[in-house]
Amino acid sequence: MTILPGRKGRPPILAAETPKGPWGQGDEPDGGGPRNPWSLPPGGRKPGAKPTALDEFLKKARGGGNGGGGGPLNGLPGAPNARALWLIGAGIILLVWVLYTSIHPIAPQERGVVTYLGRYSGTLDPGIAMTMPAPIANVVKVDVQNIRIENFPESGSENLMLTSDQNIIDLAYAVRWKISSPQNYVFQIDKPRDTVRATAESVMREVVANVSLDSALGPGRATIENQVQERMQKVLDDYKSGIVVVGVGIKQADPPARVNDAFKDVTAAQQDAQGVRNQAQSYAKQVVARAEGEASQFDKVYEQYRLAPEVTRRRMYYETMEAVLAKSDKTIVEPSGVVPYLPMGNARRIPDAAAAEPAQPAQPTTTTTTGGGQ
Amino acid sequence: MSGLWRHPIALGLAALIFVILLAATVTIVPETQQAVVLRFEQPVRTVNAWKPNEQFGRTGAGPILRIPFIDRLVWLNKRVLDVDYDNQQVLSSDQLRLEVDAYARFRIIDPLKAVNATGSTSQTETAITEALRPLLGSSIRNELGNQPFATLLSPERDEVMDNIQTRLQRLATQYGVQIVDVRIKHADLPDGSPLDRALARMATARQQQAITIRAQGQKDAQIIRGEADAASARIYAQSFTKDADFYDFYRAMQSYRHTFGADGGPAPSGATSIILSPNNSYLREFEGRGR
């Protein structure tokens, strides 16, 4: 800062200063005429180090610490003042640095892994913790509560796997994991997330390869999830990864898109079969109900008939004939030689009647015939 | 004190030299790294080499001293590293082409061996990974080549992976590497005809299933209908056999009513003309008594 105005076109600092290093150790008691080119003021000005100036500078330094900028502006960079400001600036920077790197606020969900000169020295629990400043002690904060979610497949593509019966299933699933041991997590595994992903893929396929397609498509899901979680945990523990698998969830288990129609047809067939069965059931109910109805009707009539067989029989006969003949055309043929005349119009009209739309109910008359067909 | 400050540049320079020397002498070894110290390019010792079951904080990590500008350090990762083997075609013993993705997790446990085997560059780690990749590939090919495809779809899959690991460990020992685990990520039918054939097989199996289900449904329905018919016949018989003669009469009456549309049901289609003979039983009384 303050050096720059005092040096015009000098070569880089090292080249200028290297020879001065050994004898510039300050034998002279007073800074009357320092041989340092650094303290030579530009333009041959006299070095004037007034106490008032120093006071001002100190005040400035206390007041805001921007004295570093004020020095060259005054054009009189008195050596002691400049040094004082240097010192103060450096001190402030150092202090900030020390404070910043030795005080560690650890949030509730975090732990801090402390290494002291590279060596692990402990794990900080939540709260404010003090350590040695940065080059000596280092703190890596690790979030141990945040549950990370890995989705497979990452994009929405198909994720085909083979099942034990050599069929293929399309599986989408998610693995939730978190850090259980911060120091293992930081020190043991090179790429934790990749490790989790690779393990999950491998284990999932291994588990699915031991399950039949039909089981993987539905009823076996929970079993698969549990097995994958267990085995993943075992593998990750083998790596001493400091990772715990919180859960495995199968989001979707479908047959591959290309054979989906065939699978849907099976479902449709099941529906169809059930439909046919239901129809048969309702037919059965109808038939049996009708039989029961008719049988009990007959039983009741028969009970009455047994009490007076002959009369009942005649009565029923006449009633029936009445009802029947009332609805029909009647021709009575006398046996006394009359030639019966059957009007042929009827025969012609019958097909018409049959072809005609359903007409009004039959109007029985004694002269015409109308076939009311419903 | 103030005398010292008269030569801040000299002071700064001295400090700089001191720092450079310090940095060249003292090296901080983190927990995640191990190192081999080379003196005039000859390995003399290892620092923080991996040991089984060591506790963090009691490892070789920490500051170490070395002779500046003479001793050189080669860094090696101490963590579990991985080498991938992706999308490779492998033939199984039953001549099925498989598409295999696999990975090996490994640790460098003998840094000296590792450095000697790969040359003492700063790229040792990468060099080892690159050296292991073909070894992993050949282990996988050899092992899967001895196995029918179906073993990968059975509990023996674990065994297959263990065998690959054993093979790879034999080859990898020369690099000072311990294989932690070998796992097959995918072993799938490659796209194209093998996959298409498998999918076609799946589809036909399902079509068969659908046909069977429908046929079974029909069968069940017919059985149900048959049983119902039998049941109703039994009910009729139980009732009507009480008096077969009366049943005949009664049913005839019902039948007439129905046929001629007199039972309150739908009127029959077609007209009816009845020609009666006077001898008809119904007309017995029609002409009066005493004929």
pLDDT tens digits, B131-151: 888 999 998 888 888 888 888
Residue predicted with more confidence, A90 or B275? A90
B12 or B47, which is more confident: B12
- Token pair listed for A125: 């629990």
Which pLDDT belongs to residue A355? Answer: 42
Q: For residue A307, give every residue at least 6 positions away whose Cβ sits within 8 Å of its Cβ, in sequence order, or none.
A: none
pLDDT digits (tens, 9 = 90+) for B151-208: 887 778 888 888 999 999 998 888 888 898 888 888 887 777 778 888 888 899 889 9
| Cα A336 to chain centroid, rounded | 101
Asked whether residue B89 carries a pLDDT value surpassing 60, the answer given is: yes
pLDDT at A285: 93
| Chain B residues lying within 8 Å of A34, measured CB to CB | 6
Share of chain B above pLDDT 70, in %: 93
C-beta atoms of A166 and B150 within 8 A: yes
* A332 three-state secondary structure: strand
Q: Which of A90, A221, A325 is nearest to B275 (CA)?
A: A325
Q: Is the dihedral of CA B273, B279, B280, B286 positive or negative?
A: positive
User: Tokens representing A123?
Assistant: 């794990």
A152 touches chain B (CB under 8 A): no
**Closest Cβ opposite residue B270 in set A190, A306, A373:** A373
Which chain A residues contact residue B250 at CB under 8 A? 298, 301-302, 305, 316
Helix (H, G, I), strand (E, B) or coil at B287: coil
For residue B291, the one-letter residue type is R
Question: How many other C-beta atoms can be found within 10 angstroms of the C-beta atom of residue A11?
Answer: 9
Of A14, A22, A328, which is closest to B273 when you measure between CB atoms? A328
Going by pLDDT thresholds of 50, 70 and 90, the confidence category of residue B76 is confident
Query: d(Cα A22, Cα A34) in Å, to the nearest integer?
Result: 15
Any CB–CB contact under 8 A between A115 and chain B?
yes
Residue B100 to residue B76: CA distance in whole angstroms:
29
pLDDT at A342: 54
Q: Which of B16, B108, B273, B286 best tests the A interface by mutation, with the highest count of A CBs <10 A? A: B273
What are the tokens at A39?
A: 């303290």
In whole angstroms, give the CA distance from residue A172 to residue A201. Answer: 11
Q: In residues, how long is chain B?
A: 291
Backbone angles phi, psi at A73, to 5 degrees: -65, -35
CA angle (B183, B187, B193) in 5-degree steps: 170
CA angle, residues B140, B141, B147, in degrees to nearest 5: 90
Distance CA A147, CA B48 (A): 33
Radius of gyration of chain B (CA): 48
Look at residue A66 in the predicted model and tell me its pLDDT. Answer: 46
- B57: its two tokens: 């904080």
**Between residues A18 and B49, the one the model is more confident about:** B49
Q: Does A373 touch chain B (CB under 8 A)?
A: yes
Cα B126 to Cα B117: distance, rounded to the nearest angstrom:
13
Whether residue B277 is predicted with pLDDT greater than 50 in this model: the reply is: yes
Contacts of A355 in chain B (CB under 8 A): none
Q: How many CB pairs under 8 A join A and B?
A: 356
- For residue A230, with 0-12 CB atoms within 10 Å meaning exposed, 13-18 middle and 19 or more buried, which class applies? middle
Tell me the per-residue pLDDT of B240-258, one tens digit each, with 9 for 90 and over: 888 888 888 888 888 888 8
Higher-confidence residue: A235 or B68? A235
pLDDT given at position A11: 44
Residues within 8 A of B (CB atoms), A 211-230 only: 213
For residue B9, the tally of other CB atoms under 10 A from its CB is: 20
In sign, the C-alpha dihedral spanning B229, B231, B232, B234 is positive
Task: Look at residues B264, B274, B59, B178 and name the one whose alpha carbon lies nearest to residue A374.
Answer: B264
Q: What are φ and ψ of residue A126, in 5° steps?
A: -55, 150
Q: What is the pLDDT along chain A (374 residues), one digit of tens a residue?
A: 444 444 444 444 444 444 443 444 444 444 444 455 454 444 444 444 445 565 665 555 555 444 444 444 454 455 567 778 888 888 888 888 887 777 777 777 778 777 777 777 777 777 777 777 766 777 777 788 888 888 888 877 788 888 888 888 888 999 999 888 888 888 888 888 888 998 998 899 888 888 888 888 888 888 999 999 999 999 888 888 888 999 898 888 888 888 888 888 988 999 999 999 999 999 999 999 999 998 998 888 888 888 888 888 888 888 888 888 877 777 777 666 555 555 555 444 444 444 444 444 444 433 333 333 33
**Closest chain B CA to residue A304:** B246
Q: Which residue of B has its CA nearest to A21?
A: B10
Contacts for B216 with CB less than 8 Å, ≥ 6 apart:
A273
Q: Is it the case that residue B280 has pLDDT exceeding 60?
A: yes
Cα separations (Å) of B236 from A289, A292, B232, B233?
11, 8, 6, 5
